[in-house]
């Protein structure tokens, strides 16, 4: 109810300013003990981790891990922060975030703007949150794509002791050539190298942190087959399906619908869910799936689950429907 009252004000502001203000107000309200959403318990074990419920926050909302405790109070079963890069970077020039309310959609071309991995670790250490925390890692924009693995290794090593699981983001459309890492020798080398280092770190630290890949929805059946085989071969622990889409289906004629960047929200639901189903068929239960993309109602979380997802994540849907979405998704999945 509070969000429905605040939304017109927030939507009157520039999207990036509204984003910053929302998180700031949420943090202040939490500090005063005003934020606590009670969500039903629905424990789920995935990747060897017990999640209190299967509904998580997708990466991108809290890039630097500065709002973990306040976001946790909304009832998420897990929180994913990032995408983080080895060095701080400003991201792409503003404006770079656009609302398309007629379609309950968002286009962003943020470009991995973040304060760098060391700052994220400081924030994680300062948080009181003891739940399931995913950390999403990427490469700096000025790192040549042929050297991308070096950036992923830096982040993997630095965040290893602070993450419940680590997501390798090779699917943002807003860092030049990043999506080329989803195919061919580039993917083979990346996964093999990261898996080797993950096992070394597990031995060094005497605990195992799962490694997860995040892919785009804009994949061919051949891409899906190849990626699936690489996940199985390299014993990757999980797959997040999907990131934003480059398609403009459903927003072609809307104001700002032709802005460059990744499209999220309601228009990506069908495309993302079809991709999820295809991966579920290709992987045949060998790699657990996390479904994300276009969830704006509890029933859609259930569709993702029925399409092969063990867990789901939300982000853009929160912008349009508010925190009640978390509870609605858990309730729908609990009723199954």
Q: Which residues are catalytic?
A: 172
177 is in an annotated binding site: no
242 is in an annotated binding site: yes
Pick from 206, 129, 209: which is nearest to 166 by CA? Answer: 209
294 is in an annotated binding site: yes
56 is in an annotated binding site: no
110 is in an annotated binding site: yes
136 is in an annotated binding site: yes
Rounded Cα–Cα distance for residues 162 and 177 (Å): 29
109 is in an annotated binding site: yes
Rounded Cα–Cα distance for residues 316 and 314 (Å): 7
306 is in an annotated binding site: no
243 is in an annotated binding site: yes
111 is in an annotated binding site: yes
The answer to whether residues 193 and 154 touch, using CB atoms and an 8 Å cutoff, is: no
The annotated binding site is made up of: 59-63, 83, 108-112, 136, 169, 174, 214, 242-244, 265, 294, 315-316
Binding-site residue set for FMN = 59-63, 83, 136, 169, 214, 242, 265, 294, 315-316
Annotated binding site for substrate: 63, 108-112, 169, 174, 243-244
């Amino acid at each position: 109810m509070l969000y429905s009252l605040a939304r017109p004000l927030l939507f009157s502001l520039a999207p990036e300013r509204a984003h910053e203000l929302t998180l700031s107000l949420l943090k202040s309200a939490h500090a005063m003990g005003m934020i606590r959403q009670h969500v039903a318990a629905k424990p789920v074990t995935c990747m060897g981790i017990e999640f209190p419920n299967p509904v998580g926050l997708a990466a991108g909302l809290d890039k630097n891990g500065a709002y973990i405790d306040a976001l946790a109070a909304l009832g998420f079963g897990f929180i994913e922060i990032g995408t983080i890069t080895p060095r701080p970077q400003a991201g792409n020039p503003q404006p770079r975030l656009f609302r398309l309310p007629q379609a309950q959609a968002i286009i962003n071309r943020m470009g991995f703007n973040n304060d760098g991995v060391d700052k994220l670790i400081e924030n994680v250490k300062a948080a009181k949150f003891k739940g399931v925390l995913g950390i999403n890692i990427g490469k700096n924009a000025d790192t040549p794509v042929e050297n991308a693995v070096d950036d992923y290794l830096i982040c993997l090593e630095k965040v290893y002791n602070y993450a419940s699981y680590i997501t390798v983001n090779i699917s943002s459309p807003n860092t030049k050539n990043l999506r080329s890492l989803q195919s061919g020798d580039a993917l083979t080398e990346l996964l093999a190298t990261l898996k080797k280092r993950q096992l070394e770190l597990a031995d060094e630290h005497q605990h195992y942190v799962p490694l997860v890949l995040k892919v785009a929805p804009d994949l061919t059946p051949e891409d899906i087959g190849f990626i699936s085989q690489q996940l199985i071969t390299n014993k990757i622990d999980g797959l997040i399906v999907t990131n934003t889409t480059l398609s403009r289906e459903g927003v072609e004629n809307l104001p700002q619908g032709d802005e460059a960047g990744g499209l999220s929200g309601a228009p990506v639901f069908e495309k993302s869910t079809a991709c999820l189903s295809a991966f579920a068929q290709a992987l045949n239960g060998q790699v657990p799936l996390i479904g994300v993309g276009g969830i704006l109602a509890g029933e859609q979380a259930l569709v993702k689950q029925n399409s092969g997802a063990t867990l789901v994540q939300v982000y853009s849907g929160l912008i349009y429907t508010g925190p009640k979405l978390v509870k609605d998704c858990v309730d729908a999945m609990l009723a199954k």
